[in-house]
C-alpha cells in the first residue's frame, strides 16, 4: 500500500466499527420486522384481502385478485418498517462521516420511487406470470417458471440502465475535456463495443464514488460517478485506470459469468420448488388454504433463509472477477494501485477487516489484497521483460 496516514486509518476503522455495530442492530430489527411481516401476510390474506375481493364481486378462488389486494394492504407496513433503519443509516451514520448528500425531500422521493418501482411494479410483473404458470402447468411448472424468471432477469439487465436507473439519477454525456478524451482513447484501445459514456450525479445522494459498465447488447454504457472524478482529483491516468478495470469486467465477459451463476441459482431454486408440494408448506404459515400464489410466496420465504450461504459462494466468485479486472487494467498499461488507494481513502474503506467477516460479506477483496495482487503482477511482468 502507498503510505497510509495514521489519522486517516483510524478514521476508516472508526467508520467500519460504526457500520458493523449498526449492522448488528439492523439485522436484529430486520429479524423482528420479518417475523411481523410473516404474521401480517397471513392475517391480511385471510381477512381484509378476502373481504375486499368478495365486496368487488370476486370469490375466494380469485388468487391474483387476493394477491393484489394483499400487496396493497401490506404496502404501508412494507414501506414504513424499513424507514427507521434507512433514516439512521442516511442521516446519522453517513452524515456523521460526511457521506450523506440527501435532503429530507430527496431521500423521501428516492425511497418512494424505489418502493413503487422495485417492490410493487417489478414484483408484480414477475409474480403474476409465475402464478399463472404454476396454476396451469402443474408438476412441470417449475421448469417453465425457471425459464420465465431467467428471461425476466436478462430483460431487466437490458432495460435497467436505460429506463430505470435514470428515474433515480441524472445521466449526462461525460463533459468534453481531458477526462473524456482519455476515456475515449481507452475505449478505442480496449476494443470494447460501447460508445455511450455517461457521468452520473451520484453526489446528489452520497459522497461515495464508483464507476461501472452496465447493460447487455445495445444498452451497454460506461458510467462514471461525478464523485469519482472529484476523489481522483481529475487525474486522467487514475480515472482511466479505474475505467479500464470496469471495461475489463465487460471484455472478460464477467456480466455473462454472473448471469450464468444467477441462472444456475434460479435452476436449483425452482427445482426445489418442484418437489415442495406438501400443502402444509402453505397452511403452516397461517394461510387458510393452498394456492399457486401462496405456494410460491411461502417457498420464496423459505429459500431466503438459505440465501446467506449462497451469498458466501457468490462473493468468493466475484472477488476472483475483481482480481481479473485489475489485471486487465494493468495489461492496458495502467498501474491502478494509486487510484485504489485514493478511493479507499475517500470512501473510508476498511483496510484491515476481520477475515471471516470479509469472506462472508464482501464481494470485493480488500484494498490491501488488491494492491498486493497488482504489485505481484507488475513484478512478474518486469522479470519477464528482463
Catalytic amino acids? Answer: 246, 326
70 burial level (CB within 10 Å; 0-12, 13-18, 19+)? buried
Q: Are 266 and 149 in contact, with CB atoms under 8 Å apart?
A: yes
Residue 231 marked as a ligand binder: no
Diameter of the chain measured on Cα atoms: 83
Rounded-to-integer distance, Cα 272 and Cα 306, Å: 12
| 322 annotated as ligand-binding | yes
∠ CA 134-137-140, nearest 5°, is 95
User: Quick check: 375 and 326 in contact, CB under 8 A?
Assistant: no
73-94: b (≥16 Cβ within 10 Å) or e = bbeeebbebbeebeebbbeebb
Q: What angle do CA 374, 362, 93 make, to 5 degrees?
A: 115
* Phi, psi (degrees; rounded to nearest 5) at 225: -70, 140
Q: Does 62 belong to an annotated binding site? A: no
Annotated binding-site ranges for Zn(2+): 245, 249, 322
Amino acid at each position: 500500500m502507498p503510505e497510509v496516514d495514521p489519522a486517516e486509518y483510524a478514521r476508516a476503522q472508526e467508520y467500519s466499527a460504526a457500520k458493523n455495530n449498526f449492522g448488528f442492530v439492523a439485522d436484529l430489527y430486520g429479524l423482528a420486522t420479518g417475523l411481523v411481516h410473516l404474521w401480517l401476510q397471513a392475517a391480511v390474506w385471510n381477512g381484509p384481502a378476502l373481504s375486499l375481493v368478495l365486496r368487488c364481486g370476486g370469490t375466494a378462488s380469485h388468487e391474483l385478485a387476493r394477491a393484489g389486494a394483499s400487496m396493497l394492504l401490506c404496502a404501508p407496513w412494507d414501506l414504513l418498517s424499513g424507514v427507521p433503519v434507512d433514516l439512521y443509516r442516511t442521516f446519522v451514520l453517513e452524515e456523521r462521516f460526511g457521506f450523506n448528500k440527501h435532503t429530507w425531500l430527496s431521500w423521501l422521493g428516492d425511497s418512494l420511487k424505489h418502493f413503487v418501482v422495485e417492490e410493487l411494479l417489478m414484483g408484480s410483473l414477475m409474480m403474476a406470470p409465475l402464478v399463472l404458470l404454476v396454476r396451469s402447468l402443474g408438476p412441470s411448472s417449475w421448469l417453465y417458471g425457471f425459464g420465465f424468471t431467467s428471461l425476466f432477469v436478462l430483460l431487466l439487465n437490458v432495460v435497467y440502465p436505460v429506463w430505470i436507473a435514470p428515474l433515480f439519477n441524472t445521466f449526462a454525456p461525460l463533459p468534453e475535456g481531458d477526462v473524456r478524451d482519455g476515456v475515449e482513447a481507452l475505449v478505442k484501445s480496449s476494443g470494447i463495443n460501447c460508445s455511450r459514456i455517461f457521468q452520473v450525479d451520484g453526489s446528489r445522494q452520497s459522497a461515495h464514488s464508483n464507476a461501472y459498465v452496465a447493460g447487455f447488447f445495445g444498452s451497454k454504457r460506461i458510467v462514471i460517478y461525478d464523485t469519482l472524478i472529484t476523489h481522483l482529483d481529475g487525474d486522467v491516468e487514475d480515472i482511466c485506470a479505474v475505467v479500464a478495470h470496469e471495461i475489463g469486467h465487460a471484455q472478460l465477459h464477467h456480466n455473462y459469468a454472473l448471469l450464468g451463476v444467477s441462472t444456475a441459482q434460479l435452476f436449483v431454486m425452482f427445482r426445489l420448488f418442484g418437489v415442495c408440494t406438501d400443502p402444509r408448506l402453505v397452511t403452516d404459515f397461517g394461510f387458510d388454504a393452498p394456492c399457486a400464489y401462496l405456494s410460491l410466496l411461502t417457498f420464496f420465504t423459505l429459500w431466503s433463509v438459505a440465501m446467506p450461504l449462497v451469498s458466501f459462494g457468490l462473493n468468493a466468485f466475484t472477488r476472483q472477477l475483481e482480481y481479473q479486472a485489475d489485471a486487465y487494467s494493468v495489461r492496458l498499461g495502467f498501474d491502478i494501485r494509486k487510484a485504489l488507494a485514493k478511493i479507499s481513502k475517500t470512501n473510508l474503506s476498511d483496510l484491515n477487516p476481520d477475515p471471516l467477516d470479509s469472506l462472508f460479506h464482501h464481494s470485493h477483496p480488500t484494498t490491501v489484497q488488491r494492491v498486493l495482487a497488482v504489485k505481484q503482477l507488475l513484478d512478474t511482468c518486469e522479470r519477464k521483460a528482463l
